[in-house]
Amino acid sequence: MRLALLPVLLLALALALSATARAQPAAGPVLMVFGDSLSAEYGLPQGSGWVALMERRLKSEYPGWRVVNASISGETTLGGRNRIDAELARHRPQAVVIALGGNDGLRGVSLESTRANLEYMVAASRKVNARPLLVGVRLPPNYGRTFSEKFRLVFVEAARNTKTPLVPFILERFAEKRDFFQPDGIHPTVAAQPLMLDTLWPEIGNVLKAR
């Protein structure tokens, strides 16, 4: 009798597990940040960078969204171009913040290459139905006014060519305030991180609401 009941019990258990699995909430949409040291908490305590602050703000204003920080300190647009397809496949984001280019400018990478790499990353994101947002940076004054202006326009042109929203300058709110930078004069302090998020937030909201 007990052996005869075994198949029935196994079937009941399988149905119960199936119902439980269906009851589990689906994983929420993913916002992937794809940047360099400005997004990777360089020189900061863990959890104090603008990406971590954004994740906490999303929980209250856009519940359900998850944040993946795929940023690497020292990353260039070429490095980003070489790895973005794998990161997109791994995380399957619905939105991507592309915050690369600063290291290109500091290293004197060709402006045409930087722009082409940014446009490639935008196209790669759209290919998997992820909505991109470009984030620009500016060079320090000692790089010269002419080159700095051409570098600034790289982001403007990449955004225009790909019809992608752009935050022109992630450090806009404190670029002239030395106290908001670490001793290297390049990387923002903990106190600067909320200002960076506030600069990005309106466009991030627009990207998330475009679902």
Q: Which residues are catalytic?
A: 37, 184, 187
Secondary structure element (H or E) that encloses residue 127, with its range: helix 111-127
- Distance of alpha carbon 185 from the chain centroid: 23
- Rounded distance between C-alpha atoms, residue 123 and residue 96, angstroms: 11
Q: What phi, psi does 131 have (nearest 5°)?
A: -85, 120
User: Measured between alpha carbons, how far is 4 from 72 in angstroms, rounded to an integer?
Assistant: 59
Token reading at 51? 């990406």
CA distance 107 to 115: 15
Residue 96, token pair as written in the block:
């991507």
Cα separation values, 61 from 44, 49, 184, Å: 25, 19, 34
